[in-house]
Amino acid sequence: MNGFKWQSKCNLIPSTSKISSKSIVHITPGPLGNALFSNQPVECFLLFFSSDLIAKIISHTNEEIVLQKQKYAQNVQNKSIFQNINLNEFKGLLGILIASAAMKNNHLNAVNLFDLSLCGYRYRSTMSLARFNFIINCLRFDLKNTRDERKTITKFAPISKTWDILMKSCQKWYKPGLYLTIDEQLVGFRGRCPFKMYIPSKPNKYGIKIIMMCDNSTKYMISAIPYCRKGTVPSNVSASNYFVEQLVSSVNESNRNITMDNWFTNIPLTQKLLKDYKLTVIGTIKKNKREFPVEFTDLKYSNRAVNTSLFLFSNNLTAVSYKTKPTKLVTLVSSLHSDDSMNETTKKPTIVMHCNETKGGVDSFDQMCHNMNAGRKTKRWPLCIFYNMINIASINAYVIYIHNFYKNRKDATKPLSRFQFMIRLQEQLAEDCMRSRLSNSKLPHNLKKNIEDCLGKKNVTQDQPTEEELSTKKRKVCSFCDYRKRRMTKSQCSTCQKHICGEHQIIKCSHCNND
């Protein structure tokens, strides 16, 4: 004990004090600003992968491309592989990663991913295998010249600015609901990283630990902070307190409730969040806290039976010790509840049941990331974080889409499933990249046909030459006639753009041409 005073009896009537006025939230959760009018998957996704974020990645990637292409021989035939990346191509790259997540192809190596017999032509229609590998190898997220200097401030420097842009967008476009959850996510990574963690209870076991806050009802990710070990937290500040205060800064004075596990929860922090941030807390708490009397955490105290509870009350705080098994005791603290109410059927305290209902927000979000994961095998941890950013943006975009769909729905139509949403998003992101490839006259005929199939033939428009263009077009030798004939013609094949004379032309109606 450290002198903290508790009462063993509640002075309030349970039936009238289950939830006090401090838990009432006078807001409606949902999209904000331009997000209210985002109805298409690509519109929702680009709220989070904003133009600023994309421009930053493209700029630093092109800096790396300039350095990388100098390493390759100058006599390489296909020099287009080493060109700078543009906006359409970057969106196409995002589309490939998102499609591989939806189809669960993310762990296939690139050769198999672009194999037509294994994965179809969706990926090859966007870009070539060599170009995909080159861009992935060159992806960069910061200025290389100043990286060492910035690493002295934070170990997360190689991608910190890009990460911050995404976090601001997540907070900007959505107003969360009443119940929020703070917990940790472990992004799987087994390469070299100065702050790689080992958590045996997590599916990946090894990886980068990210502390995040999610909306419990929709699983929307509101804010997240990477845990970079030493140097992450200012000196003389508790790590758990620091992370919680940083995460809740975007929702302070809103009377929301935060559910946390015992790594974060402590009595001083719970009191501070209620007093300074106007936020209530429910969470499991370690039994070795000095504020608790010995009897409260003693399994054998008064020969307690299973499914029995002990309550402690202080100013705006309620603590409960619940015996779930003969050898297991669960301790929780709440600043939301002020009584000792229990479920009449299960004999579980209301605090325990409320905690169980609201503690899974981050775990569910992490499960969604694992279910459709854009992450690919890599030895570079900034690239691993970039893949996780795609996961975050796609899940948050889906939450925005679902909100707007039900808000604008006029009949009994159903929204897209998450799989359908991801596939539609890939199609919309890669469309401009595919169309630009389609205009390349040197592209093989079978690849052009694959691109047309991806775009849908009815959406593929081939520019027909005008009379003025035909009159000014130069005559060239037919590509198929014997060179001795030297037949000159202005006619060109609509697919490969080769010049053809009348002998080698085939006339089709529009119906047969579509077939």
Taking only the tens place, the pLDDT of each residue in 316-328 is 899 999 888 888 8
Strands 179-188 vs 174-175: parallel, antiparallel or unpaired: unpaired
Q: Lowest-confidence range among 131-140, 340-349, 372-381?
A: 340-349
Distance CA 182, CA 213 (A): 4
> Please, which residues have CB within 8 angstroms of residue 382's CB and are 6 or more apart in sequence?
140, 141, 158, 159
Q: What pairs with residue 332 in β-bridges?
A: 284, 320
Average pLDDT rounded to a whole number, residues 455-466: 57
Q: How far is residue 83 from each of residues 134, 274, 382, measured CA to CA in Å?
A: 10, 55, 23
Length of the chain: 515
Residue 313, SS3? strand
b/e sequence 426-454, b meaning 16+ C-beta within 10 Å: bbbbbbebbeebbeeeeeeeebbebbbeb
b/e sequence 136-159, b meaning 16+ C-beta within 10 Å: bebbbbbeeeeeeebeeeebbbbb
Average pLDDT rounded to a whole number, residues 454-469: 58
- Tell which wins on pLDDT, 185 or 295: 185
- Reported as a pLDDT band with limits 50, 70 and 90, residue 338 is confident
Q: Look at residue 198 in the predicted model and tell me its pLDDT.
A: 94
H/E segment holding residue 67: helix 51-68
Average pLDDT rounded to a whole number, residues 148-152: 87
Angle between helices 445-455 and 418-438 (to 10 degrees): 140
pTM above 0.75, yes or no: yes
Inter-residue contact 257 to 178 (CB < 8 Å) = yes
pLDDT in tens, 214-259: 999 999 999 999 998 887 788 888 888 999 999 999 998 888 999 9
Q: Lowest-confidence range among 104-108, 127-131, 310-314, 484-488?
A: 484-488
Distance CA 115, CA 482 (A): 37
Strands 221-226 vs 206-215: parallel, antiparallel or unpaired: antiparallel
Q: How far is residue 114 from each of residues 18, 26, 123, 130, 429, measured CA to CA in Å?
A: 58, 51, 6, 10, 18
E strands, 246-326, in order: 257-260, 280-284, 309-314, 317-325
Q: What are phi and psi of 196, to 5 degrees?
A: -70, 140
> Please, which residues have CB within 8 angstroms of residue 417's CB and are 6 or more apart in sequence?
none
Q: Name the token pair of 71.
A: 């390493």
Residue 174, SS3? strand
Q: How far is residue 226 from each of residues 14, 154, 206, 392, measured CA to CA in Å?
A: 41, 10, 15, 14
Distance CA 98, CA 426 (A): 6
Q: Look at residue 458 in the predicted model and tell me its pLDDT.
A: 44
Residue 487, SS3? coil
pLDDT in tens, 406-438: 998 888 789 999 999 999 999 999 998 888 888
Q: What are phi and psi of 94, to 5 degrees?
A: -60, -40
Query: Number of C-alpha atoms within 13 angstroms, CB side, residue 162?
Result: 28
Ramachandran quadrant class, 303 (left: phi over 0; alpha: psi -120 to 50; beta: rest): left
Q: Lowest-confidence range among 164-178, 186-200, 472-486?
A: 472-486
Distance CA 333, CA 265 (A): 8
Which residue type does 102 have?
Answer: A
Distance between first and last Cα of the chain: 83
pLDDT in tens, 473-493: 778 888 888 877 778 887 877
Distance CA 492, CA 95 (A): 33
Residue 151, SS3? helix
